[in-house]
């Protein structure tokens, strides 16, 4: 946690979210940064290294609701929902900033203005899958709370697929600090999933930014067990591999 919030204690554990709202308002007003809040379905597919098999998995569950954590304008999930990949699924989004574009994309009935740490408005065991593209698991100071709440909402065999920053681009200001925070979030995520018996796999992806140089993202996939002795790692790996195999076709379809 930054110096700004040290000493606040658990009673003020959501104080950083107030700061994040101010930051996101600035992002929305910036022509340069707004695209990160308005990604397309094809961009989601690329960032997640495929998504077709993940969505097919949710379609086979009793609960077929997919929630996008940190959905921004919701353009991406609206495009996916209207495509053949969204057949039989219900898509919802969460965020912490009002965006008028949400109404025309998935509509306010399918969107909750709520921190991912609390995800108000959702009932326990009401979600078949979560996706997140550089969402709260990348920026939250309380990623353990995000995962704990997602765990409550997921049905058995519910799936989570997301991507998060692992190593910031080489020339990015404050790279060392950003990498330390990313490492801590990654450790919290993996510890939670292992402690709760999830099937869990990940794939690292290197990228190069023209402005800041090379960096690394992590794409992860996790499946909630129905019992503690269940080994879901092979299934998680299969879905991750199949997503990658169908990535280019899905991108082309959504472009």
pLDDT tens digits for 69-86? 999 899 999 999 999 999
For the chain, give the mean pLDDT.
87
DSSP 35-83: GGGS--HHHHHHHTT--HHHHHHHHTSS--EEEETT-TTSHHHHHHHHS
pLDDT tens digits for 122-131? 999 999 999 9
CA distance 76 to 213: 27
Tell me phi and psi for residue 128, to 5 degrees.
-95, -25
In the chain, pLDDT over 90 holds for what percent of residues? 67
pLDDT tens digits for 188-224? 999 999 999 999 999 999 999 888 899 999 999 999 9
pLDDT at residue number 224: 98
Which H or E run contains 154? strand 154-167
CA distance 32 to 124: 38
Residue of higher predicted confidence among 171 and 142: 171
Separation of CA 194 from chain center: 18
Work out the pLDDT band at 20, boundaries 50, 70, 90: low
Tell me how long the chain is: 255
DSSP 164-206: EEEE--TTSTTHHHHHHHHHHHHHHHHHHHHHTT-EEEEEEEE
Average pLDDT (166-178) is 90
Least confident of 29-33, 84-88, 245-249: 29-33
Residue of higher predicted confidence among 178 and 68: 68
Average pLDDT (130-151) is 88
Q: Which domains does the chain have, with CATH numbers?
A: 32-254 (3.40.50.150)
Residue 217: strand pairing partners: 165, 205
């Amino acid at each position: 946690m930054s110096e700004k919030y040290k000493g606040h204690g658990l009673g003020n554990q959501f104080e950083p979210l107030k700061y994040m709202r101010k930051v996101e308002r600035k992002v929305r007003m910036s022509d340069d940064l707004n695209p990160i809040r308005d990604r397309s379905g094809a961009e989601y597919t690329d960032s997640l290294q495929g998504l077709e098999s993940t969505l097919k998995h949710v379609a086979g569950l009793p609960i077929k609701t997919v929630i996008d954590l940190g959905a921004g304008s919701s353009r991406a999930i609206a495009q996916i929902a209207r495509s053949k990949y969204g057949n039989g699924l219900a898509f919802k989004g969460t965020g912490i900033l009002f965006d008028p574009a949400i109404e025309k994309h998935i509509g306010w009935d399918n969107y909750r203005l709520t921190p991912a740490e609390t995800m108000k408005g959702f009932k326990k065991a009401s979600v078949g899958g979560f996706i997140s593209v550089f969402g709260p698991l990348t920026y939250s100071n309380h990623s353990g709370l995000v995962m704990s709440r997602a765990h409550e909402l997921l049905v058995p065999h519910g799936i989570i697929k997301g991507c998060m920053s692992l190593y910031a681009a080489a020339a990015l200001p404050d790279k060392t600090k950003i990498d330390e925070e990313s490492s801590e979030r990654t450790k919290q995520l993996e510890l939670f999933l292992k402690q709760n018996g999830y099937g869990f796999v990940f794939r690292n992806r290197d990228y190069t930014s023209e402005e800041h140089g090379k960096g690394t993202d992590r794409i992860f996939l996790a499946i909630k067990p129905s019992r503690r002795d269940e080994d879901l790692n092979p299934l998680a790996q299969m879905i991750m591999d199949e997503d990658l195999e169908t990535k280019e076709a899905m991108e082309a379809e959504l472009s």
